[in-house]
Amino acid sequence: MGKLEDIVSLCKRRGFIFPGSDIYGGMAGTWDFGPLGVMLKRNIMQSWWHFWVDQRDDMYGVDAAILMNPRTWIASGHVDTFNDPLVECKACHGRFRADKLVDGATESITTEEFLKANVKCPTCGKTDWGEVKKFNMMFTTHVGPVADDGSIAYLRPETAQGIFTNYKNVVDTIYPDIPFGIAQQGKAFRNEISPRDFILRDRECTQMEIEYFVKPDQWEEAFEQMRALQHVFLEEQMGLPVDKIHDYEVPAEDRAHYSKRTIDMMFDYPNGEEELMGLAYRTDFDLGNIQRESGKSMEYRDKNTGETFVPHVIEPSIGLERLFLAIVSSAYWQDGDRVVLRLPENLAPYKFCVSPLLKNKPELVEKAQEVYKLLKDKYTFVTWDDSGNIGKRYKKQDEIGTPKCVVVDFDTLEDDSVTVRDRDTTEQERVKISEL
Ligand code: GAP
Protein backbone atom coordinates (compact mmCIF):
# COMPACT_ATOMS: atom_id res chain seq x y z
CA MET A 1 0.00 0.00 0.00
CA GLY A 2 1.28 3.45 -0.88
CA LYS A 3 1.37 6.59 1.20
CA LEU A 4 -1.52 8.95 0.58
CA GLU A 5 0.72 11.59 -1.03
CA ASP A 6 2.10 8.98 -3.49
CA ILE A 7 -1.43 8.01 -4.48
CA VAL A 8 -2.56 11.62 -4.89
CA SER A 9 0.51 12.28 -7.03
CA LEU A 10 -0.02 9.19 -9.20
CA CYS A 11 -3.70 10.04 -9.66
CA LYS A 12 -2.85 13.52 -10.88
CA ARG A 13 0.22 12.55 -12.93
CA ARG A 14 -1.60 9.83 -14.83
CA GLY A 15 -4.96 11.53 -15.31
CA PHE A 16 -7.09 9.69 -12.76
CA ILE A 17 -8.16 12.53 -10.45
CA PHE A 18 -7.58 16.28 -10.45
CA PRO A 19 -8.56 18.80 -7.77
CA GLY A 20 -11.97 20.28 -8.64
CA SER A 21 -11.82 23.69 -10.39
CA ASP A 22 -8.02 23.43 -10.23
CA ILE A 23 -7.52 26.24 -12.72
CA TYR A 24 -9.15 28.74 -10.34
CA GLY A 25 -7.28 27.53 -7.27
CA GLY A 26 -9.59 24.63 -6.48
CA MET A 27 -12.78 24.16 -4.50
CA ALA A 28 -12.34 22.28 -1.23
CA GLY A 29 -14.01 18.90 -1.07
CA THR A 30 -14.54 18.55 -4.83
CA TRP A 31 -12.60 16.40 -7.28
CA ASP A 32 -12.68 15.87 -11.03
CA PHE A 33 -12.12 12.47 -12.57
CA GLY A 34 -9.81 12.53 -15.60
CA PRO A 35 -9.72 10.12 -18.56
CA LEU A 36 -8.25 7.18 -16.62
CA GLY A 37 -10.26 7.94 -13.49
CA VAL A 38 -13.52 7.89 -15.42
CA MET A 39 -12.68 4.48 -16.82
CA LEU A 40 -11.85 3.04 -13.42
CA LYS A 41 -14.87 4.70 -11.82
CA ARG A 42 -17.21 3.32 -14.48
CA ASN A 43 -15.76 -0.15 -14.13
CA ILE A 44 -16.38 -0.02 -10.38
CA MET A 45 -19.93 1.28 -10.82
CA GLN A 46 -20.73 -1.24 -13.53
CA SER A 47 -19.33 -4.15 -11.51
CA TRP A 48 -21.42 -3.02 -8.54
CA TRP A 49 -24.56 -2.80 -10.67
CA HIS A 50 -23.85 -6.14 -12.34
CA PHE A 51 -23.27 -7.90 -9.03
CA TRP A 52 -26.18 -6.37 -7.12
CA VAL A 53 -28.82 -5.81 -9.81
CA ASP A 54 -28.20 -7.53 -13.16
CA GLN A 55 -27.28 -10.91 -11.71
CA ARG A 56 -30.20 -11.07 -9.29
CA ASP A 57 -33.91 -11.61 -9.71
CA ASP A 58 -34.92 -9.57 -6.65
CA MET A 59 -33.29 -6.20 -7.40
CA TYR A 60 -34.57 -3.27 -9.46
CA GLY A 61 -32.92 0.01 -10.36
CA VAL A 62 -34.05 3.62 -10.22
CA ASP A 63 -32.36 6.85 -11.20
CA ALA A 64 -34.18 9.60 -9.33
CA ALA A 65 -33.82 13.37 -9.62
CA ILE A 66 -31.24 15.01 -7.37
CA LEU A 67 -33.60 17.88 -6.56
CA MET A 68 -36.51 16.54 -4.57
CA ASN A 69 -39.56 18.09 -2.97
CA PRO A 70 -38.23 19.59 0.31
CA ARG A 71 -40.87 17.65 2.24
CA THR A 72 -38.68 14.62 1.53
CA TRP A 73 -36.02 15.95 3.87
CA ILE A 74 -38.47 17.01 6.55
CA ALA A 75 -40.04 13.54 6.55
CA SER A 76 -36.65 11.79 6.51
CA GLY A 77 -35.45 13.75 9.56
CA HIS A 78 -32.53 15.34 7.70
CA VAL A 79 -33.76 18.91 8.20
CA ASP A 80 -33.78 18.38 11.97
CA THR A 81 -31.01 15.90 12.58
CA PHE A 82 -28.45 15.77 9.76
CA ASN A 83 -26.00 17.76 11.85
CA ASP A 84 -22.31 17.71 12.65
CA PRO A 85 -20.87 19.35 15.79
CA LEU A 86 -19.16 22.58 14.74
CA VAL A 87 -16.75 24.53 16.92
CA GLU A 88 -15.06 27.83 16.13
CA CYS A 89 -11.73 29.11 17.40
CA LYS A 90 -12.40 32.63 18.65
CA ALA A 91 -8.79 33.64 18.08
CA CYS A 92 -8.33 32.73 14.39
CA HIS A 93 -11.96 31.98 13.44
CA GLY A 94 -11.00 28.52 12.16
CA ARG A 95 -13.99 26.15 12.13
CA PHE A 96 -13.68 22.48 12.92
CA ARG A 97 -15.66 19.35 13.62
CA ALA A 98 -15.54 19.19 17.41
CA ASP A 99 -15.68 15.37 17.55
CA LYS A 100 -12.62 15.06 15.29
CA LEU A 101 -10.47 17.12 17.66
CA VAL A 102 -11.11 15.01 20.75
CA ASP A 103 -9.94 11.40 21.00
CA GLY A 104 -12.81 8.94 21.24
CA ALA A 105 -15.51 11.68 20.98
CA THR A 106 -18.80 11.04 19.20
CA GLU A 107 -20.95 13.33 17.05
CA SER A 108 -23.05 14.14 20.12
CA ILE A 109 -20.14 15.83 21.93
CA THR A 110 -21.27 18.75 24.16
CA THR A 111 -19.53 22.10 24.76
CA GLU A 112 -18.55 20.99 28.32
CA GLU A 113 -17.01 17.73 27.07
CA PHE A 114 -15.16 19.61 24.35
CA LEU A 115 -13.77 22.30 26.66
CA LYS A 116 -12.76 19.70 29.24
CA ALA A 117 -10.50 18.03 26.65
CA ASN A 118 -8.47 21.28 26.50
CA VAL A 119 -7.56 20.89 22.81
CA LYS A 120 -5.42 23.41 20.99
CA CYS A 121 -6.65 24.97 17.78
CA PRO A 122 -4.98 23.02 14.92
CA THR A 123 -4.45 26.32 13.06
CA CYS A 124 -3.25 28.86 15.65
CA GLY A 125 -2.53 26.70 18.72
CA LYS A 126 -4.73 28.75 21.07
CA THR A 127 -7.44 27.29 23.33
CA ASP A 128 -10.05 30.03 22.99
CA TRP A 129 -13.14 28.18 21.80
CA GLY A 130 -16.75 29.11 21.18
CA GLU A 131 -19.67 26.77 21.87
CA VAL A 132 -20.17 23.47 20.06
CA LYS A 133 -23.04 24.09 17.67
CA LYS A 134 -25.11 21.81 15.49
CA PHE A 135 -24.36 22.45 11.83
CA ASN A 136 -26.76 21.06 9.22
CA MET A 137 -24.80 19.53 6.39
CA MET A 138 -27.37 19.84 3.62
CA PHE A 139 -26.65 22.28 0.81
CA THR A 140 -29.60 24.52 0.11
CA THR A 141 -30.58 26.14 -3.14
CA HIS A 142 -33.65 27.92 -4.49
CA VAL A 143 -35.89 26.58 -7.19
CA GLY A 144 -37.40 29.09 -9.60
CA PRO A 145 -36.75 32.81 -10.00
CA VAL A 146 -37.61 33.96 -6.47
CA ALA A 147 -35.16 33.15 -3.69
CA ASP A 148 -37.31 33.07 -0.55
CA ASP A 149 -38.21 30.54 2.15
CA GLY A 150 -40.91 29.06 -0.07
CA SER A 151 -38.47 28.15 -2.85
CA ILE A 152 -35.83 26.37 -0.74
CA ALA A 153 -34.65 23.03 -2.03
CA TYR A 154 -31.80 20.79 -0.95
CA LEU A 155 -29.14 18.98 -2.89
CA ARG A 156 -29.80 15.42 -1.77
CA PRO A 157 -27.45 14.32 1.02
CA GLU A 158 -28.14 10.62 0.32
CA THR A 159 -29.48 8.81 -2.74
CA ALA A 160 -31.59 6.62 -0.45
CA GLN A 161 -34.57 8.99 -0.34
CA GLY A 162 -34.93 8.80 -4.14
CA ILE A 163 -35.43 5.07 -3.58
CA PHE A 164 -37.90 5.37 -0.71
CA THR A 165 -40.01 7.94 -2.54
CA ASN A 166 -40.19 5.57 -5.54
CA TYR A 167 -40.94 2.45 -3.49
CA LYS A 168 -44.67 2.70 -4.24
CA ASN A 169 -44.07 3.37 -7.95
CA VAL A 170 -41.91 0.26 -8.17
CA VAL A 171 -44.39 -1.91 -6.23
CA ASP A 172 -47.32 -0.69 -8.34
CA THR A 173 -45.56 -1.25 -11.66
CA ILE A 174 -43.31 -4.28 -11.11
CA TYR A 175 -45.29 -6.18 -8.41
CA PRO A 176 -42.13 -7.64 -6.86
CA ASP A 177 -42.30 -10.50 -4.37
CA ILE A 178 -40.91 -9.58 -1.00
CA PRO A 179 -38.01 -9.56 -0.15
CA PHE A 180 -36.84 -7.28 -2.94
CA GLY A 181 -34.39 -4.44 -3.31
CA ILE A 182 -34.21 -1.13 -5.14
CA ALA A 183 -30.77 0.13 -6.12
CA GLN A 184 -29.51 3.52 -7.12
CA GLN A 185 -26.18 5.10 -7.99
CA GLY A 186 -25.75 8.84 -8.08
CA LYS A 187 -24.44 12.05 -6.66
CA ALA A 188 -24.95 13.08 -3.04
CA PHE A 189 -23.90 16.37 -1.48
CA ARG A 190 -22.77 17.17 2.03
CA ASN A 191 -21.47 20.47 3.30
CA GLU A 192 -18.69 18.75 5.26
CA ILE A 193 -17.02 21.06 7.78
CA SER A 194 -13.61 19.58 7.07
CA PRO A 195 -13.28 17.66 3.81
CA ARG A 196 -10.06 15.66 4.04
CA ASP A 197 -7.82 12.79 3.03
CA PHE A 198 -8.03 13.28 -0.74
CA ILE A 199 -11.34 11.76 -1.94
CA LEU A 200 -12.24 10.13 1.38
CA ARG A 201 -14.43 12.94 2.71
CA ASP A 202 -15.88 15.13 -0.03
CA ARG A 203 -18.60 17.73 -0.35
CA GLU A 204 -19.86 16.04 -3.50
CA CYS A 205 -19.68 12.28 -3.72
CA THR A 206 -21.26 9.37 -5.57
CA GLN A 207 -23.24 6.86 -3.55
CA MET A 208 -24.24 3.35 -4.52
CA GLU A 209 -27.13 2.30 -2.32
CA ILE A 210 -29.68 -0.47 -2.00
CA GLU A 211 -32.84 -0.43 0.06
CA TYR A 212 -33.75 -4.07 0.60
CA PHE A 213 -37.40 -4.45 1.66
CA VAL A 214 -38.22 -7.38 3.93
CA LYS A 215 -40.99 -8.68 6.17
CA PRO A 216 -40.54 -7.05 9.59
CA ASP A 217 -39.70 -10.34 11.33
CA GLN A 218 -37.12 -11.31 8.71
CA TRP A 219 -34.76 -8.38 9.01
CA GLU A 220 -32.07 -10.19 11.02
CA GLU A 221 -31.65 -12.98 8.50
CA ALA A 222 -31.58 -10.47 5.61
CA PHE A 223 -29.07 -8.30 7.48
CA GLU A 224 -26.66 -11.20 7.95
CA GLN A 225 -27.03 -12.33 4.33
CA MET A 226 -26.39 -8.81 3.11
CA ARG A 227 -23.39 -8.49 5.39
CA ALA A 228 -21.81 -11.71 4.09
CA LEU A 229 -22.46 -10.70 0.47
CA GLN A 230 -20.86 -7.29 0.98
CA HIS A 231 -17.65 -9.09 1.86
CA VAL A 232 -17.91 -11.27 -1.24
CA PHE A 233 -18.37 -8.14 -3.35
CA LEU A 234 -15.56 -6.17 -1.76
CA GLU A 235 -13.07 -9.00 -1.67
CA GLU A 236 -13.84 -11.00 -4.82
CA GLN A 237 -15.14 -8.35 -7.22
CA MET A 238 -13.19 -5.31 -6.01
CA GLY A 239 -10.03 -7.22 -5.05
CA LEU A 240 -9.75 -5.62 -1.59
CA PRO A 241 -7.51 -7.56 0.83
CA VAL A 242 -9.58 -9.47 3.39
CA ASP A 243 -7.32 -8.45 6.27
CA LYS A 244 -7.86 -4.73 5.60
CA ILE A 245 -11.65 -4.81 6.02
CA HIS A 246 -13.04 -4.74 9.55
CA ASP A 247 -16.68 -4.90 10.61
CA TYR A 248 -17.50 -2.41 13.33
CA GLU A 249 -20.74 -2.71 15.28
CA VAL A 250 -21.79 0.92 15.73
CA PRO A 251 -23.04 1.60 19.27
CA ALA A 252 -26.57 2.98 19.65
CA GLU A 253 -25.41 6.51 20.57
CA ASP A 254 -23.38 6.83 17.35
CA ARG A 255 -25.93 5.41 14.94
CA ALA A 256 -27.77 7.61 12.43
CA HIS A 257 -31.22 8.71 13.58
CA TYR A 258 -32.96 6.15 11.37
CA SER A 259 -30.99 3.05 12.29
CA LYS A 260 -31.62 0.30 14.85
CA ARG A 261 -28.47 -1.58 13.91
CA THR A 262 -25.46 -0.47 11.88
CA ILE A 263 -22.29 -2.22 10.91
CA ASP A 264 -19.66 0.02 9.40
CA MET A 265 -17.20 -1.79 7.20
CA MET A 266 -13.94 -0.08 7.95
CA PHE A 267 -10.90 -0.14 5.69
CA ASP A 268 -7.21 0.31 6.44
CA TYR A 269 -6.55 3.36 4.28
CA PRO A 270 -3.04 4.85 3.96
CA ASN A 271 -3.86 7.37 6.72
CA GLY A 272 -5.49 4.83 9.02
CA GLU A 273 -8.75 2.98 9.49
CA GLU A 274 -11.85 4.77 8.14
CA GLU A 275 -15.42 3.89 7.21
CA LEU A 276 -15.62 2.40 3.74
CA MET A 277 -19.33 1.63 3.81
CA GLY A 278 -22.29 1.18 6.09
CA LEU A 279 -24.90 -1.53 6.50
CA ALA A 280 -27.96 -0.28 8.37
CA TYR A 281 -31.27 -1.69 9.55
CA ARG A 282 -33.54 1.30 8.87
CA THR A 283 -36.68 -0.50 10.14
CA ASP A 284 -39.86 1.05 8.66
CA PHE A 285 -38.59 4.50 9.67
CA ASP A 286 -38.55 5.97 6.17
CA LEU A 287 -41.65 4.35 4.69
CA GLY A 288 -43.51 5.17 7.92
CA ASN A 289 -42.47 8.83 7.66
CA ILE A 290 -43.41 9.03 3.99
CA GLN A 291 -46.78 7.49 4.81
CA ARG A 292 -47.41 10.16 7.45
CA GLU A 293 -46.09 13.09 5.39
CA SER A 294 -47.79 12.12 2.10
CA GLY A 295 -50.96 10.55 3.50
CA LYS A 296 -50.46 7.62 1.08
CA SER A 297 -50.27 4.02 2.22
CA MET A 298 -46.85 2.37 2.00
CA GLU A 299 -48.25 -1.02 2.94
CA TYR A 300 -47.20 -4.04 0.95
CA ARG A 301 -49.70 -6.82 0.33
CA ASP A 302 -48.27 -10.31 0.25
CA LYS A 303 -49.83 -12.04 -2.79
CA ASN A 304 -49.48 -15.48 -1.24
CA THR A 305 -50.76 -14.87 2.27
CA GLY A 306 -52.84 -11.71 1.83
CA GLU A 307 -50.98 -10.15 4.78
CA THR A 308 -50.38 -6.40 4.64
CA PHE A 309 -47.55 -4.57 6.37
CA VAL A 310 -45.08 -1.73 5.92
CA PRO A 311 -41.81 -3.44 4.95
CA HIS A 312 -38.65 -3.02 6.96
CA VAL A 313 -35.41 -2.11 5.25
CA ILE A 314 -31.80 -3.25 5.18
CA GLU A 315 -29.55 -0.68 3.58
CA PRO A 316 -26.03 -1.26 2.29
CA SER A 317 -24.54 2.09 1.29
CA ILE A 318 -21.13 2.71 -0.19
CA GLY A 319 -19.39 5.80 -1.50
CA LEU A 320 -17.76 5.36 -4.89
CA GLU A 321 -14.85 7.63 -3.94
CA ARG A 322 -14.09 5.67 -0.78
CA LEU A 323 -14.19 2.42 -2.72
CA PHE A 324 -12.02 3.97 -5.46
CA LEU A 325 -9.44 5.05 -2.86
CA ALA A 326 -9.49 1.64 -1.16
CA ILE A 327 -8.93 -0.08 -4.52
CA VAL A 328 -6.18 2.25 -5.71
CA SER A 329 -4.34 2.32 -2.38
CA SER A 330 -4.34 -1.46 -2.05
CA ALA A 331 -3.34 -1.90 -5.70
CA TYR A 332 -0.44 0.56 -5.34
CA TRP A 333 2.90 -1.22 -5.23
CA GLN A 334 6.32 0.36 -5.32
CA ASP A 335 9.81 -1.02 -5.50
CA GLY A 336 12.39 1.76 -5.82
CA ASP A 337 11.47 3.68 -8.97
CA ARG A 338 9.01 1.08 -10.16
CA VAL A 339 5.39 1.90 -9.40
CA VAL A 340 2.69 -0.59 -10.33
CA LEU A 341 -1.06 -0.32 -9.93
CA ARG A 342 -1.99 -3.96 -9.44
CA LEU A 343 -5.64 -3.46 -10.24
CA PRO A 344 -7.89 -6.49 -10.66
CA GLU A 345 -8.31 -7.15 -14.39
CA ASN A 346 -12.05 -6.44 -14.34
CA LEU A 347 -11.37 -2.92 -13.04
CA ALA A 348 -8.22 -1.92 -14.97
CA PRO A 349 -8.99 0.97 -17.36
CA TYR A 350 -7.19 -0.78 -20.22
CA LYS A 351 -6.86 -4.53 -20.55
CA PHE A 352 -4.06 -4.35 -23.16
CA CYS A 353 -1.58 -1.86 -24.52
CA VAL A 354 -0.29 -2.49 -28.04
CA SER A 355 3.02 -1.05 -29.33
CA PRO A 356 5.41 -1.46 -32.22
CA LEU A 357 8.92 -2.17 -30.92
CA LEU A 358 10.19 0.76 -32.99
CA LYS A 359 8.08 3.70 -34.02
CA ASN A 360 10.19 4.57 -37.07
CA LYS A 361 9.77 1.21 -38.83
CA PRO A 362 6.61 1.47 -40.94
CA GLU A 363 6.29 -2.30 -41.33
CA LEU A 364 6.22 -2.74 -37.54
CA VAL A 365 3.79 0.13 -37.04
CA GLU A 366 1.47 -1.28 -39.71
CA LYS A 367 1.47 -4.76 -38.17
CA ALA A 368 1.03 -3.34 -34.65
CA GLN A 369 -1.97 -1.29 -35.86
CA GLU A 370 -3.47 -4.51 -37.23
CA VAL A 371 -3.05 -6.21 -33.83
CA TYR A 372 -4.39 -3.13 -32.06
CA LYS A 373 -7.57 -3.08 -34.16
CA LEU A 374 -8.07 -6.79 -33.66
CA LEU A 375 -7.81 -6.49 -29.86
CA LYS A 376 -9.87 -3.30 -29.76
CA ASP A 377 -12.70 -5.08 -31.60
CA LYS A 378 -12.49 -7.96 -29.19
CA TYR A 379 -11.85 -6.26 -25.83
CA THR A 380 -12.73 -2.55 -26.42
CA PHE A 381 -10.50 -1.31 -23.61
CA VAL A 382 -7.22 -1.40 -25.44
CA THR A 383 -4.72 1.43 -25.76
CA TRP A 384 -2.02 2.25 -28.27
CA ASP A 385 1.38 3.53 -27.20
CA ASP A 386 4.33 4.27 -29.47
CA SER A 387 5.84 7.08 -27.42
CA GLY A 388 9.39 7.01 -26.03
CA ASN A 389 11.27 3.73 -25.71
CA ILE A 390 9.77 0.42 -24.69
CA GLY A 391 10.95 0.82 -21.07
CA LYS A 392 9.09 4.11 -20.69
CA ARG A 393 5.95 2.60 -22.18
CA TYR A 394 6.04 -0.28 -19.70
CA LYS A 395 6.54 2.20 -16.86
CA LYS A 396 3.50 4.21 -17.90
CA GLN A 397 1.30 1.15 -18.41
CA ASP A 398 2.39 -0.27 -15.03
CA GLU A 399 1.38 2.98 -13.37
CA ILE A 400 -2.08 2.99 -14.91
CA GLY A 401 -2.57 -0.70 -14.16
CA THR A 402 -2.68 -2.20 -17.68
CA PRO A 403 -2.37 -5.97 -17.10
CA LYS A 404 -0.76 -6.88 -20.46
CA CYS A 405 1.50 -5.06 -22.91
CA VAL A 406 1.66 -6.52 -26.41
CA VAL A 407 4.73 -5.67 -28.49
CA VAL A 408 5.10 -6.24 -32.23
CA ASP A 409 8.71 -6.82 -33.32
CA PHE A 410 10.57 -8.10 -36.39
CA ASP A 411 9.83 -11.75 -35.51
CA THR A 412 6.13 -10.92 -35.64
CA LEU A 413 6.48 -10.23 -39.34
CA GLU A 414 7.86 -13.75 -39.78
CA ASP A 415 5.76 -15.90 -37.43
CA ASP A 416 2.66 -13.86 -36.43
CA SER A 417 3.58 -14.05 -32.78
CA VAL A 418 3.95 -11.14 -30.36
CA THR A 419 5.59 -10.52 -27.00
CA VAL A 420 3.09 -10.31 -24.16
CA ARG A 421 4.49 -8.78 -20.98
CA ASP A 422 2.74 -9.31 -17.66
CA ARG A 423 2.35 -6.19 -15.47
CA ASP A 424 2.82 -7.91 -12.12
CA THR A 425 5.59 -10.41 -12.85
CA THR A 426 7.19 -8.48 -15.79
CA GLU A 427 7.56 -11.89 -17.43
CA GLN A 428 7.35 -11.97 -21.19
CA GLU A 429 6.07 -14.76 -23.40
CA ARG A 430 5.61 -15.24 -27.12
CA VAL A 431 2.00 -15.72 -28.10
CA LYS A 432 0.43 -16.24 -31.52
CA ILE A 433 -1.75 -13.28 -32.52
CA SER A 434 -4.64 -15.67 -33.11
CA GLU A 435 -4.42 -16.81 -29.47
CA LEU A 436 -4.59 -13.34 -27.90
N1 GAP B 1 -28.06 6.37 3.05
C2 GAP B 1 -27.21 6.14 4.15
C3 GAP B 1 -26.08 7.04 4.21
O4 GAP B 1 -25.98 7.98 3.45
P5 GAP B 1 -23.80 7.41 5.42
O6 GAP B 1 -23.07 6.53 6.40
O7 GAP B 1 -23.99 8.82 5.80
O8 GAP B 1 -25.19 6.70 5.18
C9 GAP B 1 -22.95 6.09 3.36
O10 GAP B 1 -23.08 7.32 4.02
C11 GAP B 1 -21.62 5.99 2.66
O12 GAP B 1 -21.45 7.10 1.76
C13 GAP B 1 -20.40 6.08 3.59
O14 GAP B 1 -20.12 4.82 4.16
C15 GAP B 1 -19.33 6.51 2.63
O16 GAP B 1 -18.85 5.43 1.86
C17 GAP B 1 -20.10 7.47 1.70
N18 GAP B 1 -19.94 8.86 2.15
C19 GAP B 1 -20.69 9.52 3.04
N20 GAP B 1 -20.28 10.78 3.20
C21 GAP B 1 -19.24 10.94 2.35
C22 GAP B 1 -18.38 12.03 2.04
N23 GAP B 1 -18.52 13.22 2.60
N24 GAP B 1 -17.40 11.84 1.12
C25 GAP B 1 -17.26 10.64 0.52
N26 GAP B 1 -18.05 9.58 0.78
C27 GAP B 1 -19.02 9.72 1.68
DSSP result, 194-246: S-BTTTTB-SEEEEEEEEEEE-GGGHHHHHHHHHHHHHHIIIIIS---GGGEE
Q: What pLDDT score was predicted for residue 299?
A: 97
Using most ligand atoms within 8 A of CB, pick from 248, 275, 282, 320 the residue to mutate for ligand 1.
275
Q: Is 316 in the pocket of ligand 1 (CB under 6 A)?
A: no
158 CA distance to ligand 1 middle (Å): 8
277 CA distance to ligand 1 middle (Å): 7
CA distance 133 to 101: 14
pLDDT in tens, 173-225: 999 999 999 999 999 999 999 899 999 999 999 999 999 999 999 999 999 99
Ligand 1: residue whose CA is nearest its atom 27: 319
Cβ proximity of 366 and 334 under 8 Å: no
pLDDT in tens, 16-36: 999 999 999 999 999 999 999
Q: Is the pLDDT of residue 60 over 80?
A: yes
CA distance 154 to 161: 12
Q: Is 277 in the pocket of ligand 1 (CB under 6 A)?
A: yes
Ligand 1: residue whose CA is nearest its atom 6: 278
Q: E strand or H helix at 280, and its extent?
A: strand 272-283
What is residue 63's DSSP assignment?
A: -
Q: Is 160 in the pocket of ligand 1 (CB under 6 A)?
A: yes
Q: Tell me the mean pLDDT in the region 71-88.
A: 93
State residue 80 phi and psi, 5-degree precision.
Answer: -90, -30
Q: What pLDDT score was predicted for residue 47?
A: 98
Q: Report the atom number in ligand 1 closest to the C-alpha of 280.
A: 2
Question: Over the chain, what is the mean pLDDT?
Answer: 95
**Between 287 and 107, whose confidence is greater?**
287
Using most ligand atoms within 8 A of CB, pick from 200, 205, 323 the residue to mutate for ligand 1.
205
Q: Is 385 in the pocket of ligand 1 (CB under 6 A)?
A: no
Q: Is 192 in the pocket of ligand 1 (CB under 6 A)?
A: yes
Ligand 1: residue whose CA is nearest its atom 14: 277
Q: Is 209 in the pocket of ligand 1 (CB under 6 A)?
A: yes
Q: Is 234 in the pocket of ligand 1 (CB under 6 A)?
A: no
The distance in angstroms from the start CA to the end CA of the chain is 31
Ligand 1: residue whose CA is nearest its atom 21: 201
Q: Is 29 in the pocket of ligand 1 (CB under 6 A)?
A: no
Using most ligand atoms within 8 A of CB, pick from 100, 158, 187 the residue to mutate for ligand 1.
158
Q: Report the atom number in ligand 1 closest to the C-alpha of 201.
A: 24
CB burial string 11-34: b at 16+ within 10 A, e below: beebbbbbbbeeeeeeeebbbebe
65 CA distance to ligand 1 middle (Å): 18
131 CA distance to ligand 1 middle (Å): 27
Q: What pLDDT score was predicted for residue 401?
A: 97
Q: Is the pLDDT of residue 253 over 90?
A: no
Q: Is 186 in the pocket of ligand 1 (CB under 6 A)?
A: no
CA distance 114 to 99: 8
SS3 state of residue 16: coil
Q: Is the pLDDT of residue 287 over 90?
A: yes
Q: Report the atom number in ligand 1 closest to the C-alpha of 158.
A: 4
For the chain, give the percent of residues with pLDDT over 90. 93
Q: Is the pLDDT of residue 244 over 80?
A: yes
Question: 95 pLDDT band (50/70/90 cuts)?
Answer: very high
CA distance 326 to 200: 9
Q: Is the pLDDT of residue 257 over 90?
A: no
Ligand 1: residue whose CA is nearest its atom 25: 201
Q: What pLDDT score was predicted for residue 308?
A: 97
Cα separations (Å) of 187 from 54, 208, 320, 335? 21, 9, 10, 37
Question: 383 pLDDT band (50/70/90 cuts)?
Answer: very high
Q: Report the atom number in ligand 1 closest to the C-alpha of 157.
A: 4
Q: What pLDDT score was predicted for residue 149?
A: 85
Q: Is 97 in the pocket of ligand 1 (CB under 6 A)?
A: no
Q: What pLDDT score was predicted for residue 43?
A: 98
Q: What pLDDT score was predicted for residue 150?
A: 86
Q: What pLDDT score was predicted for residue 254?
A: 87
Q: Report the atom number in ligand 1 closest to the C-alpha of 200.
A: 25
What is the reported pTM? 0.95
Q: Is the pLDDT of residue 1 over 80?
A: no
Q: Is 318 in the pocket of ligand 1 (CB under 6 A)?
A: yes
Cα separations (Å) of 72 from 239, 299, 427? 37, 18, 57
